[in-house]
Amino acid sequence: MPESRGGDADAAIDWQGGVLASIGLFGIAFGASASSTAPWSAAIVYGPMLAGIAVLALFLWWEAQAKSPMVPLALFRAGAFSGANAMTLLLYAGLGGALSRTVSSSSSGVPVAVTWLWRSSPRSAAMRPSVGPKPVTSIIARV
């Protein structure tokens, strides 16, 4: 079946972007996991994390100029998209902190609990059609 909307069927896969994103995220994850056995001031912790952040900055530069980017950066101009991604980051950061025990269970669970409670509440469901997703997401992010 031919492509019916949007996108270029002949677009190439962004292998360079995929490799850069993988290396950058690996560096951050490796440094964060090393922090469970070493202090944050240890080179084994901050070295890979700083390298990962630098590679992710290179990834953003690459995606901005790539002909067929893996993640079109224009998506992040949409408030709902950016808000949903910020909330996902906070949720998984809290969950990861709780599982790796680098932060206390009570402080890491706050973003997770607040978001789950809000998103499952009848008030949230009633509010979404009238105000849209942007205010709901920004209220959750402020909590």
Question: Mean of the per-residue pLDDT values for the chain?
Answer: 75
With cut-offs at 50, 70 and 90, classify the pLDDT of residue 3.
low
Question: 104 or 89: which carries more pLDDT confidence?
Answer: 89
Lowest mean pLDDT among 1-15, 38-52, 63-77, 115-129: 115-129
Provide the Cα torsion 68, 69, 75, 81; round to 10°.
Answer: 130
Question: 124 or 55: which carries more pLDDT confidence?
Answer: 55
Rounded distance between C-alpha atoms, residue 2 and residue 9, angstroms = 9
Q: To which residue do tokens 């995220």 refer?
A: 25
How much is the average pLDDT of 103-120?
57
SS3 at position 132: coil
125 Cβ contact partners less than 8 Å away, ≥ 6 residues apart: none
Q: To which residue do tokens 């962004």 refer?
A: 14
Backbone angles phi, psi at 89, to 5 degrees: -60, -45
Q: 0.85 exceeded by the pTM? A: no
How much is the average pLDDT of 22-32?
91
